[in-house]
Amino acid sequence: MERILNVSSSPHVKADHTTTSIMRDVVIALMPALFAGVFFFGIRVLFVTLISVISCVLFEWIWQKSFKKTVTIVDLSAVVTGILLAFNLPSSIPFYMVIIGAFVAIILVKQIFGGIGQNFINPALAARAFLLAAYSTALTDFSLPVKWGSSVDAVSSATPLALIKQGNLEQLPSLMDAFIGNIPGSLGEVSALAILLGAAYLFYKKIIKWHIPLFYIATIFILTTLLNGFDINASFYGLFAGGIMLGAFFMATDYTTSPMTEKGQILFAIGAGVITSVIRLYGGYPEGVSYSILIMNLAVPLIDRYVKTKPFGGGKKA
Amino acid sequence: MRGLTFKRGIHPNYNKEATSSKIIETLMPKGEVVFPMSQHLGGSCTPIVKKGDRVLVGQKVGDSAAFVSAPIHSSVSGTVKAIEERRIFRGTKDLCVVIENDFTYEDAPYMSENAISSYTDLTKEQLIQIVKDAGLVGMGGAGFPTHVKLAVPPDKEINTIIINGAECEPYLTSDHRVMIEETDRVIEGMEILLRVFKKAEAVICVEDNKKDAYEMLTQGVKEKERLKTALVHTKYPQGSEKHLIYAVTGKEVPIGKLPIDIGCAVFNIDSVIAVWRAVTKGRPIMRRIVTVAGGGVDNPCNIKVRLGTSYRELLEYAKWDSARTVKIISGGPMMGTAISDIDVPVVKGTSAILCFTEKEMGRDQISNCIRCGKCVDVCPMQLVPNTLQASALNHKYEEFLSYDGMSCIECGCCSYICPAKRQLVQSIRTAKTAIRSRK
């Protein structure tokens, strides 16, 4: 008796990548920024990140176990959320706040709406927004980068963007310091260099496309240049000093909360860029990256509904 | 040099090395031969022989009065053993003429009588009749009767004849071998078509992973008028009719229209040879070149077989290992059909038989869509497959139609690329069938 053959509908071959492999690549791409954070702010950065990752994975596991759902923690998406959440926080944040943030990200934003792929806003950014509203002092208490080998404790200070907001331009760190990350700020977003390294890996692996980062960064650059009186230097400074790099390459490109079509992605990126610039230049907060992305996340279903692709053969003559 | 191409599409592992340099071997049928009565799009044929009749090689055994249809011929001489329902590769049953081979291969006399040695005066009507009588259908798998493509309405004209030598499906190498081994016949077949379509230009398109075939053909058409070759980029689904036309002419076939509406006609390599054989030898379509490959066979090969031969004989020739094989595909891995029974006959559209091992088949867990947009990035029809799937799964057919779901060509790029391993094209295909049956 010959064995029974498997029968299924075509296609019979599939690409090698999986959701897990994509998430693994994102985790790898986030490593340079993590190392930069540890380098500039000390070992506490690692603890904050670890606590964030562990609590995200744990919350996901608890939710899925208690509602008898398939446990999907091995897809590593909770790990990515955990790292991104930590990257948005100052290194001095109390650990319990990190756990609360993880709860908001995984339970309130992700699992309640149906788990991976179903959340309508970026979990890490939503958690950061929640923490900023709940513990605004702790969330804006940025420590100055420590010099390795120095015995001095980290000293709190204002971020470059806060200094710009206050008009206190004399104390600004240099553009080079802002680029490599030797400035006060959230623990994972200070080093533009490290983030660009990670982003290069994502491009190489074809995990993200250029549309969102390019249009987001370009919009901010052009708008701020136009509105600050053509001070190109200041515009560059703004790109490296805050969360724009992390936002452009790792937050706005989040698959679930960005549009499906290229045209939609461009619209989304320009929208986020405009909101970021407006908050930075005219808003009460020094930084607008996370809110701009969250607001545009809400517009994604609308964009996907109205920005359609033109089917092949549906254009010129039909 | 990068070949001409279309937008989007995928780059699967082609796995053609096992058979791409193997010379076509001939396999004669050992047992009975079986001819299903519908091997093409359009009206099914009715058997025109009775049980007990003696038939000759090339004799018509099934015919239909419908214009969009193609007659079926016996590929052996022998006696009609039965006319009954038999299983075909799709898994369904079809009315079949079963012939007991007498192994004398006695030709029906009409074939040599009909052979035209000089086709200089061939008219369009004559060619259409010859092609129709020869039972020619598109050999790529869909099985669209060839004479229908030739019967150009009076208000339209063919400007470009495209010969499809893309062979973009992984594993398949039969067209590649034919282009190398029967270069002259391909070129002569094209000249026959050009003789009839006096204003047309013919282009043979070959993917750039078959440079050897491309160079031989280019050499062959050097001195010929209105005949040229084009190198196309190796990408799936390059061999799709609409996408090949786009690659060559830069024109899109409008949705709901046919290639002829923009002055194009596309023929498969094997169809061109069949035209040549029908015109110059008077012989109808009776044989087929099949690639037998995959991890489950020890002797992957390209074999020339008589139509009606059982898949089992081909598999045995290729030394298949039934213990290792977990899935058998009739056709290519992207659009072929998985078969449940290997005692089914080779038909006009059988391009390959692939034996997949557990490793090649892959069993992936389906998970949530993460909206990565990769399906959108690869869809050669520029649709949004994951939205279409959502409409299909929820039976929201109006929404499905509003997203142009019916123009899906079912190439399978979306299911191939999906990291969550979702069955996108499968859902879309089901919805299309449901919508069609509703009308």
For residues B418-439, average pLDDT: 91
Q: How far is B403 from chain A (nearest CA, A)?
A: 8
Contacts of A128 (CB under 8 A, 6+ apart): A85, A88, A89, A101, A139, A290
Provide the mean pLDDT of chain B: 89
For residues B303-317, average pLDDT: 93
Query: Do the first three CATH levels of B28-111+285-360 and B116-280 match, i.e. the same topology?
Result: no
Q: How far is B397 from chain A (nearest CA, A)?
A: 16
Q: Which residues of B touch A120 (CB under 8 A)?
A: none
Whole-prediction pTM = 0.90
pLDDT, one tens digit per residue, over B135-149 is: 888 876 678 888 888
What does the longest C-alpha to C-alpha distance in chain A come to? 86
Instruction: Find the distance separating the first CA and the last CA of chain A, reported in whole Å.
Output: 55
Burial category of B43 from C-beta neighbours within 10 Å (exposed 0-12, middle 13-18, buried 19 and up): middle
Which member of A12, A262, A308 has the closest CB to residue B356?
A12
Exposed e or buried b per residue across B69-84, where buried means at least 16 C-beta atoms within 10 angstroms of its C-beta: bbbbbbbbbbbbbebe
Q: How far is B215 from chain A (nearest CA, A)?
A: 31
pLDDT, residue A156, reads 62
What DSSP string describes B97-150?
A: EEEEE-S--PBPTHHHHH--S--TT--HHHHHHHHHHTT-B-TTTT--BHHHHH
Q: SS3 of B37, please?
A: coil
Exposed e or buried b per residue across B357-396, where buried means at least 16 C-beta atoms within 10 angstroms of its C-beta: beebbeeeeebbbbbbbbbbbbbbbbbbbbbbbbbbeeee
Q: Which residues of B touch A115 (CB under 8 A)?
A: 368
For residues B219-240, average pLDDT: 88
Q: CB distance B338–A256 less than 8 Å?
A: no
Contacts of A109 (CB under 8 A, 6+ apart): A119, A121, A122, A123, A126, A127
Mutate to test the interface with A, among B404, B411, B423, B428 (most CBs of A within 10 A): B404
The residue extents of the domains of chain B are 28-111+285-360, 116-280, 374-438
A12 touches chain B (CB under 8 A): yes
A5 touches chain B (CB under 8 A): yes
Instruction: Find the distance separating the first CA and the last CA of chain B, reported in whole Å.
Output: 48
B176 touches chain A (CB under 8 A): no
Q: Which residues of B touch A77 (CB under 8 A)?
A: 370
Residues in chain B: 439
pLDDT, residue A26, reads 96
Q: CB distance B361–A115 less than 8 Å?
A: no
CA B353, CA B90: separation in Å to the nearest integer?
Answer: 13
Q: Which of residues 110-129 of A touch B (CB under 8 A)?
A: 114-118
For residues B302-321, average pLDDT: 92
Q: Which of residues 203-242 of A touch B (CB under 8 A)?
A: 209
For residues B87-106, average pLDDT: 89
Which member of A114, A116, A311 has the closest CB to residue B383?
A311
What DSSP string describes B242-290?
A: HHHHHHHH--PPPTT--GGGGTEEEEEHHHHHHHHHHHHT---S-EEEE
pLDDT, residue A316, reads 41
Q: CB distance A311–B382 less than 8 Å?
A: yes
Q: Which residues of B touch A18 (CB under 8 A)?
A: 364, 419-421
Q: Which of residues 262-281 of A touch B (CB under 8 A)?
A: 262, 265
A317 touches chain B (CB under 8 A): yes
Which member of A13, A265, A309 has the closest CB to residue B170?
A13
CB B202 within 8 A of CB B196: no
Q: Which residues of B touch A7 (CB under 8 A)?
A: 91, 327, 338-340
* Residue B205 main-chain phi, psi, to 5 deg: -105, 125
Q: Which residues of A touch B405 (CB under 8 A)?
A: none
Q: Which residues of A touch B373 (CB under 8 A)?
A: 255, 259-261, 265
Q: CB distance A11–B335 less than 8 Å?
A: yes
pLDDT, residue A145, reads 64
Confidence of residue B2 (pLDDT cuts 50, 70, 90): low
Would you say domain B116-280 falls under CATH 3.20.20.70? no
Q: At which residue do the structure tokens 């009715």 appear?
A: B46
Q: CB distance B333–A6 less than 8 Å?
A: no
CB B65 within 8 A of CB B5: no
> For residue B58, what is the DSSP state?
T
A21 touches chain B (CB under 8 A): yes
For residues B190-219, average pLDDT: 89
One digit per residue, the tens of pLDDT, for chain A of length 318 reads 456 888 888 899 999 999 999 999 999 999 999 999 999 888 999 999 999 999 999 999 999 999 999 999 999 999 999 999 999 999 889 999 999 999 999 999 999 999 999 999 999 999 999 999 999 888 888 876 665 555 555 556 778 888 777 777 777 788 888 888 888 888 898 899 999 999 999 999 999 999 999 999 999 999 989 987 778 888 888 888 888 999 999 999 999 999 999 999 999 999 999 999 999 888 877 788 999 999 999 999 999 988 888 888 875 433
Q: At which residue do the structure tokens 């498997």 appear?
A: A6
- Write down the ipTM of this complex: 0.88
Q: How far is A275 from chain B (nearest CA, A)?
A: 24
Q: Supply the CATH classification number for the domain B28-111+285-360.
A: 3.10.20.600
